[in-house]
Structure formats: C-alpha cells, structure tokens
Structure 1
Amino acid sequence: MGLGKWVGFLGLAIALYILWEIRQVLLLVFAAVVFATAFNSLVRRLQRVGMKRSGAVALSIGTFLVLLVIFVALIVPPFITQFQQLVELVPKGLDNLQNRFQDMQSMIPGYSQFVPGVDDLIRQIQPLAARVVGNFFAWFSNALAIVINLLLVVILTVMFLINPQPYRRGFVLLFPSFYRRRVDQILSLCEIALVNWVGGTLINMVVIGTVSGIGLLILGVPLALANALLAGLLEAIPNVGPALSVIPPVAIALIEDPFKAGAVIVLYIVIQQLEQYLLVPFVMSKQVSLLPAVTLLSQVIFAISFGFLGLFLAIPLVIVGQIWLQEVLIKDVLDPWQESEKFKLEPAIDAEELDVTSETEHS
C-alpha cells in the first residue's frame, strides 16, 4: 500500500472518529431536519393558498408552540398533583395489600410457605427504590442540558425552515459533480418518506390518544385526559412507547383497586392489538415499509449507542438509511453491475447429469 493510500486511510479514520465524538450534535441536527421537513410540507400548502413564505412559517411555528403549551398545561399540573396524592396513598395501599395477603394466608393452607409476605417484599424493593430515586435525581440534574438541546433543535428547525435551499445545496456540493443531480433526487425521496412518516405517526397518535381516553373514562380512572395525551405522545416511539404509556394509568388505578389496574392493562393490550391489525396496515400503506424485526433492532441499537434521542430518532434514521441504500447501493451500483466475460461462471450442473455422474462413479 502506497503512502497516498495510507494518508487517505488515516484521514478516513480521523473523520470517522470526529463524527463519532460529535454524534449527539449530529442527532440534534437530524432531529431539526426532520421537524423542518414536516413543517416545510405545511408551509408549502399554505403558500399554495396564497400566503407568503414568511407568514406561513410564522403561522406554522406559532401553531405548534401554542399546541405544545396547551399540552404541557394539561399534562404537567395534573401529574404533579397526582404524584403528591400517590405519595400520600402508597402507605394506605401497602396496608390494604398486606391485609389481602393475610386474608389469603388464612384461607389457603401452606400459602405462606410459597409466597413471601409484604414485609419481605418491601425489604427486597427498598434497594431498587433507592436506586430509582438516585437515578431520578441524576436525571433531574441533567434537565438543563435537555432544555439547551431542545432550544438548539428549535433554533435549527427555524433556520432550516426559513430558507432551506442553501443548506440543501451545500449538502449536494459534498458529492462529485456527475452525481449531484442524483443526490438531489434521493433527497427528494427522503423528504417525501419523512413527511409520510410524520403524517402516519400523527394519525396513530390521535387515534390511540382518543381511544385510550375513552377507555379510561369508561373504567373511571382519574386523569383520563392526561393519560390519553401521554399515550398519544408516546405512540411516536414504536414498541417502547406503548409499554411506557401503560405505567401511569396502572399506577393510578392500583391505588384505588387492583382489579381496576388489571382492567387498564387489558384495555391497553386490546388497543395495541387493534392498532397492530387495523390501524398500522392502513397507515403504513403510505409509508416506507419497514420489517418489524428491523424496527425493533434499530431501536435497541440506537438506544444503546445514542440514548433516548437515538431511540426517538431510530425510525426516521432507518427510513433515510433504507432509501440511501436502495437508491445508491442497489440501483446505482449493484443493478448496473454487468458480469464480465472473463469471470463468467459455468452453468450449473443439472440434476439429471448429477444422477448420471453419481451412477457412473458407483459402477
């Protein structure tokens, strides 16, 4: 290997190392690109109506901020109040649970030999509770960093949305001149796919939030509206979000009645099954098709590598990556790859010829 190749290899290694070190910043930039792409679709529709781009951008962002403030106002205060009630009612719930255990121990002979008592369970839960509280304070200490990251995403989104063409042209110029038109076409495909994904996700969020709210109201679970909004919001994270959304209503229902908590679990299981077999096929017909195993593995890999932000952006990252692989590697490299006459393979042996050869060898 010559000196030039070694220098090129070293430069590539240094570039990959730098990209890995700034991976969180790159993810924040990608999040801003996703949001800007979604808002840009709305801005273009408003422009078709006759509105100027500056007014359409202001209207789109203003509407989003108003909805965000309404969402936070509906979610945060009720959950703070409910958390205070939860702290007060947990000892009462433990006393009721201990009384139920004692009743079951008196009704079932030998029950205490196989099932631990409440005191034993509390002693086993205490280390876990201490660890959870410690993690809570650690997460709380990082709240400032989270707020700064959110502000960065908002600012970048606004910058990309006001005038997206210079950023797009700058990205296209990173490629050789003969391939720039093709890169612009691939970026258009990525934009369409991301807009379809955002639209489908919004449909899922609205439907799941509405159905969850109706079900929680029928069951008489407190804070049905807040829990429904939370379920709709977490629907943006497939597989993981629905599992997280069931925890608050179950915890709230468990204080009042354990059977009601079981009913909440059944409700969410039914909702997820209806989503899987009715809603997802309808919504995914307008999106880039992703295999369920690929979706789950991508979430696990990105969550381990990049944390919660990687988990949230796993699906759009996979969508964009799939388009680039399909367009560049498959269509532009592998499909036009013609077999050379020098390396053309011999035709495969037929089954009849193979049988004749084996009979000859045996004879």
Structure 2
Amino acid sequence: MSDKNHKGQHLRITVPQIFMVVGITAGVAVTLLFLWYAIPVLLLVFAGILLAILLHGLSDWIARRTFLSYGWSLTFVVLDLMTLFAVGLSLVAPDVADQAYHLSQQLPEALKRLEQYFAQYTWGQELLALIDKDLMPSREFMLTQASNIFSSTLNVLTSFIIILFIGLYGAAQPRLYVEGITQLVPIRRRQRVRTVLHQVGQTLLWWLFGRMISMTIVGMLTVPGLWLLGIPHILTLGLLAGLLTFIPYIGPVLSVVPAALLALLQSPIQVVNVLLLYLFLQSFEGYLLTPLVQKRTVAMPPVLTISVQVLFGTLLGFFGLMLATPLVAALMVLVRMLYVEDILGNSSKEKL
C-alpha cells in the first residue's frame, strides 16, 4: 500500500503545472497563428532583402573598381537602373500595351476553338462537362472579381513601394542590419554568424544574377523564334517568357500557354512548333545557363524546388510562388553551414 501511495505522489499533477502546460500550449499556438498571418509581410521583407542584396552587390563591385565611394556607387546604380527602366518603358511599353490588348481579344477565340476541338471526342465532352459544372466561375464571382481590381492594383503598388524602400535602406547600410543580427548570438559565435550571413548574401546575389541573365536571354530568343513561326504579339509573349523565367521549372510552363493558344488559331501544327520552340529555349536555359550559375551558388534539387513552389503557390499565391526558389537557396546554405558543418561536424566543401 505504501508503494502505491508513493507512486501516486510522483504521478500527481499540481495546479501550477497545469497552468504552465496550458500557458506553453497557448503561447505556441499564438506564435504559430501570428507567424501564419505575418507570412505575407515576411515575404515582402524577403523581397526587399533580395533587392537590397542586388543593389549592394552592384554598388560594391563599382566601388572596388573605381574611385567612387560606396555611397556614390549606390547612387549611381539606383539612378542608372531608374534611367534604364524609364527609357525601356518609353520604347517598349506602347507596343507591348497594344499587343497585350489584342492578345486579350484573341485569347477568348483561341479558348473557344480549343473547346470545339474537345467537343469532337467523348472524353473531351466529359472533360468540358466537368469544367462547366465544377471549375467555371459563376457570373456573380466574375462580377465580384472585377470589383476588386482597384484594390488589387493598390495592393500591388503598395507592396512595390515597401519592397523598394526596404531594398534602398538595406543597401544603404547593410552592415547596420548584419551587426544587429549578430548581437543576438553569443560573442564567441558572432564571427561565424557574419560568415554565414555573408555566404547567404553571396548565394542570393549569384542566384539573382543567374535569373536576370536567363530572363534576358530567354526573352530575347523567344521574340525572333515566334517571329519566324509567324505567331503574332511577339513582344508581349517574349516579355512574358522572360519574366516568368524568374520562376524555375513552373514559370516556363506558364509562359507557353498563351503562345500555344494563339498558335491554335492558325493550325495544330503551329501549336507543335511553338511547343518545340519553348522546349528548346528552356532546355538551353536549364542545361547550359543554370548549371554555369550554380557553380557559384547551391545546386537545388528539382524535386525540392518544384515541391516548395507548389506549396508556396497554393498557400500564398503567385507572390509566394515567385519567392519560393530563393528562399530554398537561402535555407540550403543555412542548413549546410549551421547544421551539417557546425552540428554534425562535416567540414567537407561539398555543397548540398
């Protein structure tokens, strides 16, 4: 009997312990809920950090090779990029806007022709019935979406301004923010943290350079390729192909859709030609350009990259889809340096 009482005393849970467990559970739940709602803001901050890394990399390169200080180099980079953007916009925007308008007028006709093609087959009729029943938005939904265009545009402009200011302030005083992070760790680990942050910054910088090079080359090669095939609106489609190259693997798939639909207005053979053109361009980018850039950064496994893109795209929309890959690149550097090297003790220079 005494042994049972002794065990019961050890198993007895006191009221303070209950309150402690409840408090910890509530704190974890509140923290997770806060992080969930803060994810869009954190993505904006991360996008601003990417811009800051790009501006800092360009400015530091100029400052180390010229007589200009870092501050004047940053000013030169910002003014140069603004001028380049303004000149390019004034030269290309009118044609792109006109082609985009005509493209929006022709895509419904292409979709109608695609629907007529599917209607010739039994499986196609079943697919169209499924789409009409479950996937096609209602009229009320379309009206609601149309009424939200203004607010969506305002949100995009607001996000752009936030990213711009975070990028400018981050590039103007990068050491201030790096040292602010290092102050949060013990003194003996601060130099290691500086090394890790520097490596993350270099990885993201080379990733950005690689994406910019790939975007430019794919966009420039798409325009003459579509012109040779006789596809209309080549400037808009080329610009779209270049921009969507920013998103590895998934972006090229999205970019081929409008071009293939326009080709369908001409003939099924043109659809095949367009698909072959885009396949060639993306193979050139994926098997030649990207591996060259990944020599200076991390080689990200395609399955991991696509999985994260789908996850972020599903949970956070197109903005999450865009930033999924650089987030994976940064996380892989952190895992390699802080876990594989520091905790596991693997000092090899092999990248993950």
TM-score, structure 1 as length reference: 0.76
Residue 221 of structure 1 is matched in structure 2 by: 231
Out of 319, 322, 336, the position equivalent to 1:312 is 322
1:334 aligns with 2:344: yes
Q: CA deviation at 1:323?
A: 1.2
Q: 2:82 aligns with which of 65, 79, 85?
A: 65
Matched, 1:281 2:298: no
Aligned to 2:272: 262
Q: In structure 2, what residue type is equivalent to 1:140?
A: I
Contact 2:111–2:261 (8 Å) recurs in 1: no
Whole-angstrom CA distance in 2 between matches of 1:180 and 1:277? 39
Q: Percent identity?
A: 28
Distance 1:295 1:158 in 2: 29
1:199-232 CA-to-partner distances (Å, cap 9, x unmatched) read 1112211221122122112112222233212211
- How many angstroms apart in 1 are the aligned matches of 2:99 and 2:200? 43
Decide whether aligned partners of structure 1 residues 101 and 7 sit closer, same or farther in structure 2, where only a CA change above 3 A counts. closer
Label 1:169 to 1:88 Cα distance change in 2 as closer, same or farther (>3 A): closer
Deviation of 1:311 after TM superposition, in Å, equals 1.1
User: Which segment is superposed worse, 244-253 or 21-30?
Assistant: 244-253
* 8 A contact 1:200–1:287 mirrored in 2: no
Deviations 1:88-120 (A, max 9, x none): 657877898899999xxxxxxxx7878759x99
Q: Does 1:242 align with 2:252?
A: yes
Matched pairs, number: 327
Is 1:44 matched up with 2:52? no
Residue identity matched to 2:322 = F
* Structure 2 CA distance for aligned equivalents of residues 270 and 129 of structure 1: 39
| Kept after mapping to 2: 8 A contact 1:221/1:252 | yes
TM-score, normalising length: structure 2:
0.78
CA contact (8 A) 2:244 2:251 kept: yes
- Going from structure 1 to structure 2, the CA distance change for 1:335 and 1:276 (only over 3 Å counts) comes to same
Counterpart Cα distance in 2 of 1:171 and 1:318 = 20
State whether residues 46 and 56 of structure 1, in contact with CA within 8 Å, keep that contact through their aligned partners in structure 2.
yes
Over the aligned positions, Cα root-mean-square deviation in angstroms equals: 3.8
Partner of 1:299: 309
Unaligned stretches of 5+ in structure 1? 103-110, 337-363
Equivalent residue, structure 1, for 2:50: 34
SS of equivalent residue, structure 2 residue 198: helix
Moved more, 89-98 or 265-274: 89-98
The alpha carbon displacement at 1:253 in A equals: 3.2
Distance 1:234 1:173 in 2: 39
Q: Aligned with 2:251: secondary structure? A: helix
Deviates more, 1:68-77 or 1:57-66: 68-77
CA spacing shift, 1:124–1:268, aligned 2, 3 Å: farther
Look up the match of 2:176.
166
Unaligned runs of 5+ in 2: 1-16, 347-352
Deviations 1:55-111 (A, max 9, x none): 221221223233434555566544543454456657877898899999xxxxxxxx7
Q: Which residue pairs with 1:140 in the alignment?
A: 149
Say whether residues 1:204 and 2:221 are aligned partners. Answer: no
Compare CA radii of gyration and give the structure with the larger one.
1
